[in-house]
Amino acid sequence: MPRTFDPVVIAVVVAGVSMGAFIDLRTRRVPNALTIGLAGLGFALAGLGTAGLSIPAAAGGFVVGMLLMLPGHLLGATGAGDVKLMAALGTLLGPVGIATAFTYAAIAGGVLAGIIAIQRRRLRFTVVRTAALVRTGGANVADIEAPSSNNRFAYAPAIAIGACLAAFGM
């Protein structure tokens, strides 16, 4: 039986990722104040026993969220704010919930990347560079991050989609 979340947790997740996505789209940053606030609230709600998460489960969700996003950051595919946002959400969703959110976010991110590459008329370039990034373990990060490559985009909206789907138990 899937775990159901407390409406307060759902509201915090939706509000938090909505703010994160909006700010990321406008500034290309996810502010530390938001991620620290979400993590603190997640631990506080766990301490109160909200949605059946214990403090160790919230901490486990934090670690799982961070570890799932860290490789993408180290390869240059995501920013540090995205890693911190996913870790903070882990305190609200727990280890299994954040793994689910990560899976949905990866799918949403792939779809968004494809749409953006098509809009920028850079689909072939993006696919070739992404394959090289994976194949070389990140050796072409500088090439991908060059302003002339025009292939970066805000990832918090993908995280928002994944976290909301996971929070609603989908």
DSSP class of 51: G
The answer to whether the beta carbons of residues 61 and 101 sit under 8 Å apart is no
CA distance 27 to 14: 20
In a domain, 118, yes or no: no
Query: Does the pLDDT of residue 24 top 50, yes or no?
Result: yes
Residue 2: predicted pLDDT: 41
Residue 167: burial class (beta carbons within 10 Å; 0-12, 13-18, 19+): buried
In a domain, 1, yes or no: no
In a domain, 21, yes or no: yes
Least confident window among 12-21, 30-39, 118-127: 118-127
pLDDT band at 17 (very low <50, low <70, confident <90, very high): very high
Residue with tokens 């789209």: 25
Domain that holds residue 25: 7-106+155-167
pLDDT tens per residue across span 43-66: 999 999 877 799 999 999 999 999
In a domain, 65, yes or no: yes
Q: Closest Cα to residue 82, out of 15, 122, 129, 32?
A: 32
**Predicted TM-score of the model (pTM):** 0.85
Residue 3: predicted pLDDT: 54
DSSP class of 146: S
Token readout for 170 is: 């989908």
More confident position, 156 or 133: 156
pLDDT tens per residue across span 122-137: 888 878 877 877 788 7
Residue 46: predicted pLDDT: 94
In a domain, 87, yes or no: yes
Residue 169: predicted pLDDT: 86
Q: Dihedral sign, CA of 69, 70, 71, 75?
A: positive
In a domain, 123, yes or no: no
Token readout for 158 is: 């993908």
In a domain, 68, yes or no: yes
Query: Does the pLDDT of residue 151 top 80, yes or no?
Result: no
Domain count, the chain: 1
CA distance 15 to 25: 15
Least confident window among 29-33, 84-88, 109-113, 122-126: 122-126
Outline where 28-140 has alpha helix (H). Answer: 32-47, 55-74, 80-119, 123-135
Least confident window among 49-53, 64-68, 83-87, 160-164: 49-53
pLDDT band at 4 (very low <50, low <70, confident <90, very high): low
In a domain, 119, yes or no: no
